[in-house]
Amino acid sequence: MQLFPCPFCGPRDETEFHYGGDAGNARPDGADVPIDRWADYLYLRSNPKGTAREIWVHMSCGEFFVMERDTLTHKVLSSTALGGEYAA
Q: Which residue lies nearer to other proteins by CB, 15 or 78?
A: 15
Beta bridge partners of 12: 4
Q: How far is the CB of 29 from other proteins (least distance, A)?
A: 5
Judge whether 54 and 66 are in contact, CB under 8 Å: yes
Residue type, 36: D
Q: How far is the CB of 68 from other proteins (least distance, A)?
A: 13
Residues found near other proteins in the complex (CB under 8 A):
1-3, 13-15, 17-20, 27-31, 33, 35-36, 38-40, 42-49, 52, 54-55, 57, 59, 62-64, 71-74, 82-83
Q: What is the DSSP string of 68-80?
A: EEETTT--EEEEE
